[in-house]
Every structure is written in C-alpha cells, then in structure tokens.
Chain A
Amino acid sequence: MDETKRIVTFLLTAMVVMPICVFAQRTDLMSSGYIVKWPNTMEDISAGNSIPKEEISRLLNSLKGAEVEPAWQVQEFRFAPISKGVIALAAIVDASGRELFYGLVILTREGAKYRRTLFTSAPPHFLPTEAVDLDGDGVVEIIVKEPVLDYRGAATNIVCWNSIYKYEEGSGGPVETYYPAYYTRSVLPYLSFLYETALKGGNETSARSRVLAAEIDFVRFKYQRKMNDEPRAGWDEALRWSQSKVSELQVLAIKTFEDMEGAEASERLEMLSRSPDAVVASRAAAALNRLRNKRAR
C-alpha cells in the first residue's frame, strides 16, 4: 500500500469496516436556501476545499429539517469522493458552543436537497486521516473515532474504537478483515507503546491509570473478537470489570458483554442492570434492550 496513504493515528485504534447503503448513526434529508459551489468532479475538489470555512458553516447552519437545531461551528472540512461519482462534504463540527468538536458530518447532495449524516467522533481531529482512501480504490472511507468511555471533562482519556464506514449502494457483509495489515503495522505496536509509556513507571495503581489500562485492553480485546475470530477474547477481564467498584470499569464490562451477545453475556447484563449505581444499571438495561431488539428482528 502506498506509504502516503497510511493513516497516522494519535489514539488507540481498531477498525471495523461496515459497508452500508447509508451511513449509520443519524441521517436526515434536509433542504437549504444557501448555495456553495459544490465540486462535481475530482478536478473541482481542490477549488471546493478552498471555499472559506465561514461559507461551509453557513451552509450547515442553513439546513432545515423538521425541528429547530442548535448552531454548528465548523473546525475543518474537506470535499472527497465517497463513492464513484459521489462527492461528499466531510466536516468536523461542534454543536455545544464550547468547541468540543465531537461531531463528524457527511453531507451529500440529492437533487435539490442534502443528505446529512451525523457521527459522534472524538477529537483530536485531522480530516485527511479520517476521510481517507485506505485501499487505493479512488474513494475515501470514513473513520469514526468512537470514544470507549463517555466524556468526563479533564478526566477523559479519549481512548477510541475506530469504525470505518464505506458508502455503497447495496450492502454486503461486514468487511473488517480487509485491513488487518494496517492494524498489525500501526495499531498493535502503538497499543503496546502507549501501555509501556503511559502506564509503566507512573502511578499504576491510581484509579485513572486503572481505567486507562482497561480502556486499552477493551480496544485490544474488541479487535481480537472482530479481526482474529476470537469471540471470547476479553471475557475474563469483563467479568473482573463487572465486579469492580469503579463505574467506568463496569461500563466497559457492559460494552464487552453487549458486543459478545449470547445467553451468558445477557445474564451478566441482567445482574449489572440491578446495580445500585444508577448509571451502570441504566446502561446495562439499555444494552439488554438492544440485544433483545436485535434478536427479535
């Protein structure tokens, strides 16, 4: 693979590639009275990327749907081909008014309207590494950095599970096995490096260190389950986390059990749904609901 196409990541990564007809998370078809010069061909993209950021911000804020929305702030944007003949706008946005930039917007044109897809993707951002052609086929894949644990202000470690989305008409099966070389070359070594430098030699017994170590392990185990076909990877750790008094570790257990599915995992989620910690209990109950809905489909 061309070295120039390698992604430089700053965070822990593991990837799942999911080809889907439309992107996941939230998608709306919207109208706008504001016009920007949308690139129609690959040759026009450079000019599109030179559009002042304020115009892109005005475009995003002019999109009208069924409900009133908060104001968006754009951190950066770029136009890129997400499918043959489809040029999309990718933008990093914030809707909190506090420059938290946890949003990734993908905008495509559909006739006179726009299809807007919203992802929650954690900072820091560098769009050329998040809307990137991973396999040299001339279209970009979208990397979404899903934080493993919720935002906790200054205590947030921002360890992420990276999902990859590919825009395709007609969905096939999951394709996370398409990029194992990337993971083995870049991600796994970085995991080890982070573990050694951030945790060894410091206060390894502090609560924050334990949470960071668990977040690193969570990502590693999720990769093993998805990419190495090891469906039980992380089970013992999840059991330990579920019995911890630290609610962040219990949340990691909930996410692991939900990912594993199965009767045994559901039993563990049932137990956690009875936790005296309201956050843990509600998270576990919500995970159980999602599993039940999935089985019912």
Chain B
Amino acid sequence: MVNAFDWIENTQQGKNVYQSKLNFVTQWVAGQRTNRPNLPDLTAAQKEDDALVFYGPYAVQLQHYYIPNANYNGWIVNPNCANGQGYVSAVRSRTVPN
C-alpha cells in the first residue's frame, strides 16, 4: 500500500527547505560584508531568525530580519520586517513537546 502522506518525509523536506534558507542568509550576509571590513558577521541565532523569516510566508516581502546600520559597522533590527519578525516570534514561542 502506498502512503498518502509520510510525516517523516515531510519533516525531512521541511528541514531541507530550512537549510536552504540558512544557506541563502549566509550568502546574503557575505554579500553585505564584501568591501565592508567593519561589518561583523551575524551570530548563529541571528542567522536563524533571518532564515525563519524566509521560511515563512513573508519571504515574499524580501525584508531581512536584520540590516546593516548606517555606518556598516553593526546590525539593526529591520523596521520594515514587522510581519516576518512577528512570524519568527510566533515560531520561537512554540515549545517543542517532549
């Protein structure tokens, strides 16, 4: 009998999609840091935040969770990413059941 839906496969696909978003964020950050030696890398948690934005429906807004500040020596929370940040907060507020 062929399964109509496989939870394990679905979870693996979700993991693959999320990893692709992490790769995309890493590539984007690297692009931002090109020729900007004072711009630090995002932390792992910050990259997760940004990847989550692009994992959710508001990826289409193309607004990153964090953007470089005016001097390109740090990062600020993007004021134009409210929907995406709300999605990230909602996801992070879910506790994983034991």
A interface residue numbers (CB < 8 A to B): 25-26, 67-70, 93-98, 100, 102-103, 118, 120, 150-152, 278-279, 282-283, 286, 289
Given known A94-B60, A98-B17, A150-B90, contact A70–B54 (CB-CB < 8 A): yes
Across the A-B interface, how many residue pairs have beta carbons closer than 8 Å? 73
Chain B residues within CB distance 8 Å of chain A: 14, 17, 20-21, 24, 27-28, 31, 54-62, 79, 82-83, 85-87, 89-90
The secondary-structure label for the interface of chain B is helix
| CB nearest to A25 among chain B residues | B61
The listed residue (A25, A68, A96, A279) touching B59 by CB distance below 8 A is A96
B85 proximity list for chain A (CB < 8 A): 282
Q: Besides the contacts A96-B60, A100-B56, A120-B58, what 14 more A-B pairs have beta carbons closer than 8 Å?
A: A25-B61, A26-B62, A68-B24, A69-B62, A70-B24, A70-B54, A93-B60, A96-B17, A96-B57, A96-B59, A97-B17, A102-B58, A118-B60, A120-B61
Closest to A103 in B: B60
Are the C-beta atoms of B28 and A283 separated by less than 8 Å? no
A151/B56 contact (C-beta < 8 A), A68-B24, A120-B83, A286-B79 known: yes
- The docked-state distance in angstroms from the alpha carbon of A62 to that of B86 is 30
Which chain A residues lie closer than 8 Å to B21 at the CB level? 70, 97
Among all A-B residue pairs, the 9 with the closest Cβ atoms: A103-B60, A102-B57, A95-B59, A100-B57, A96-B59, A97-B17, A95-B60, A151-B57, A150-B86
- Complex-state Cα separation, A120 to B28, whole angstroms: 22
Q: Please measure, in the bound complex, the distance between the C-alpha atom of A95 and the C-alpha atom of B82, giving whole angstroms.
A: 17
